[in-house]
Amino acid sequence: MAIYLGFDSSTQSLSAIAIDVSESTREVVFAHAIVFDDVFPEFGTRHGILPSADRGAALSPPALWAAALDRIMAVIAAEAPFPLDRIRAISGSAQQHGSVYLNGDAAHRLERLDPDASLASQVPPLLARDVAPVWMDTSTTRECRAIEAAVGGPAALAAITGSRAFERFTGPQIRKWFSQDPGGYARTHRIHLVSSFLASLLAGRHVPLDRGDASGMNLMDLAAGAWSPAALDATAPALASKLPPIVPSWTIVGALAPYWTRRYGFPAAKVVAWSGDNLCSVVGTALVAEGRLGISLGTSDTAFASMPACTIDPPASGHVFASPHSRGLMGLTCFSNGSLAREAVRDAFALDWTAFSDLLRRSPAGNRGCLMLPWFGPEITPPVARPGVRRDGIDTGDAAANVRGVVEGQMMAMALHSRWIQSSPRVIHATGGAAANEEILRVMADVFDAPVLRFEVGNAACLGAALRAWHADALASGSPVSWDEVTESFVHPLGAAIPPIREHAAVYADLRQRYAAFEASVLERG
Ligand code: XUL
């Protein structure tokens, strides 16, 4: 009899899913998505990012995310096939690391959002900074090195926070904001992640941060689940007073604000702490058990899994985050050349996705021994600041070789750099937009030599958010539901697993080593 809503605010779009949970029914009853560039061209973003003269900066307008939230709530109110008063709880997933800087009036204004005005028009007066740096930002290398030096080096920072300093992480971004604009930093009263900012708009008050998303900031003591004084001191002055409290991911952080009840007729449903997209995907792909590797193919490609113990990635290209479903941990490696790299090849040869897939199907596994390092833009893993695609044996005019080159390159990089999380996964759980492409998943199965499962609900982050809302509401209402029950009810494989082909896997066993050597030699040459 209960409806739970899950949102996913990603780099390029906002999605919503509603699930119906009763004794007899457990089903997704509504889904909707809004693509930022298409629906809100007035914000001037491309792929969700503003043009910027600041080299390496990737900035988005927080008012755009608010406009999309307002719009999707209007769509739910108008089109959802259930009475709104059945909605019990709402949670969300958001792109990780991005930060929103709010001023001293924000607390007061959040409590008084005017239901007769658009949400987007009410966001600029909340802000101490009109833009939010997001995860694609690569402009803070200097800040990363300074923070690491202040705490005793990259390994020391990784031992405290789960990651060495990364350009896109919130701590280095805060340090840059403080050094660029000390006045703006002084006017900042609260720094939210994208997740806690959107949850604050729903609840009409500053809400806390969930422990999972907070672990992507280079600021949290992972073992303690609390802000690390050493990391905060290394980042910017008086930072503790500007950060929200950290809570377990299943915390109810408020109720839907009067803005939503008066504007659209929503009930005062519980708002459950939002979390990061990869963390919600752990729930939405049922990675709550060990031995499974999740791979999300989106604007970023990520490989992740639950971890039994805290093992910091030796070359430190990966991260350890707090799990959103337990007091345990998850490992993650992130690649910035995901869907935009695949699209760059598709567009260079004027293909559509059907033609792209045909070329992939018709070309030989292993690409005749040719290789591509798919660094169309700056890369996070391995760190590549100056982009440039490197080809070994691939003719730039050969469509099939380039299509296969980009997909194989991405999969081999993922296999190479996710070994520290799981050296030989028994099964891969695939999600994200490109997981709809069976040919890409075939290459994944062959490169990893493991079967690949995909799921009825393709947006695992969004589903994971709705499932987290259910789990948190059940817990808070005194009738807890186990994670096994939560995921078994909704995370259903779509068809049979895609098995690896033995001969292809043998080709990749060799090619993966050559890829690693090629990558190392190119990085060595700078
Ligand atoms: C993960 C990361 C990206 C974003 C994309 O560390 O930076 O996957 O979360 O939304």
State pLDDT tens for residues 95-139: 999 999 999 999 999 999 999 999 999 999 999 999 999 999 999
Residue 310: what pLDDT?
77
Q: From the CA of 130, how far away is ligand 1's center (Å)?
A: 22
Give the residue, by CA position, lying nearest to ligand 1 atom 5.
Answer: 95
Q: Residue 87 pLDDT more than 70?
A: yes
3-state secondary structure of 353: helix
Q: Quote the percentage of the chain above a pLDDT of 70.
A: 99
pLDDT at 314: 61
Say how many Å lie between the CA of residue 167 and the centre of ligand 1: 12
**Which residues does ligand 1 sit against, CB inside 6 Å?**
10-11, 95-97, 135, 168, 216, 276-278, 300, 302, 332, 334
Q: From CA 69, how far away is CA 387, in angstroms rounded?
A: 34
Pick from 300, 330, 336, 380 the residue to mutate for probing ligand 1's pocket: most ligand atoms within 8 Å of its CB. Answer: 300
The token duo for 301 is 């490609």
Non-local (6+) Cβ contacts of 371 within 8 A are 391, 392, 393, 394, 405, 408, 409, 511, 514, 515, 518
Give the residue among 273, 262, 269 at the shortest CA–CA distance from 206: 273
Q: Rounded to an integer, what distance in angstroms lies between the CA atom of residue 273 and that of residue 91? A: 6
Q: Is the pLDDT of residue 309 over 80?
A: no
pLDDT(490) > 90:
yes
Residue nearest to atom 10 of ligand 1 (CA): 95
At 526 the pLDDT is 74
What is the radius of gyration, based on Cα positions, of the chain? 22
Sheet with 427-431, strands from edge to edge, namely 319-322, 329-335, 301-307, 292-297, 427-431, 452-453
Q: What is the pLDDT of residue 315?
A: 63
Mutate to test the pocket of ligand 1, among 12, 49, 135 (most ligand atoms within 8 A of CB): 135
DSSP strand E in 238-370: where?
246-247, 252-255, 270-272, 275-276, 292-297, 301-307, 319-322, 329-335
Neighbours of 509 (CB within 10 A): 11
307 confidence band (pLDDT: 50, 70, 90): confident
Nearest atom, ligand 1, residue 277 CA: 9
Q: Which atom of ligand 1 is nearest to the CA of 332?
A: 6
Which residue has its alpha carbon closest to ligand 1 atom 8?
300
**DSSP for residue 17:** E
Q: Which of 208, 207, 198, 209 is nearest to 260 (CA)?
A: 198
Decide if 493 contacts 454 (C-beta within 8 A): yes
pLDDT of residue 340: 96
Under the banding of pLDDT at 50, 70 and 90, the label for residue 92 is very high
Q: How far apart are CA 229 and CA 233, in angstroms?
A: 6
pLDDT at 332 exceeding the cut of 80: yes
Q: What is the pLDDT of residue 304?
A: 96
CB 394 within 8 A of CB 371: yes
Task: Tell how far the Cα of 502 is from the centroid of ligand 1, in angstroms.
Answer: 32
For 394, the token pair is 């691939």
Residue 88's Cβ-side half-sphere holds a number of Cα atoms within 13 Å equal to 20
Phi/psi for 139 (5° steps) reads -95, 10
> What average pLDDT is seen over the chain?
96
Q: Per the structure block, which two tokens stand in for 87?
A: 């909605």
Listed residue (247, 170, 238, 262) closest to 207, CA to CA: 247
Encode pLDDT of 196-239 as tens digits: 999 999 999 999 999 999 999 999 999 999 999 999 999 999 99
Beta-bridge partners for 227: 220
Answer whether 417's CB lies under 8 Å from 411's CB.
no
Which pair of structure tokens corresponds to residue 119? 């949400």
Tell me the C-alpha distance between 60 and 68, whole Å: 13
Judged on CB neighbours under 10 Å (0-12, 13-18, 19+), 254 is buried
Tokens of 375: 């660094």
Residue 96 CA: nearest ligand 1 atom is 9
β-sheet bridge partners, residue 65: none
**Going by CA atoms, what residue is nearest to atom 6 of ligand 1?**
334
**DSSP class of residue 52?**
-
Task: For residue 380, give the ligand 1 atom closest to its CA.
Answer: 7
* Nearest atom of ligand 1 to the alpha carbon of 300: 8
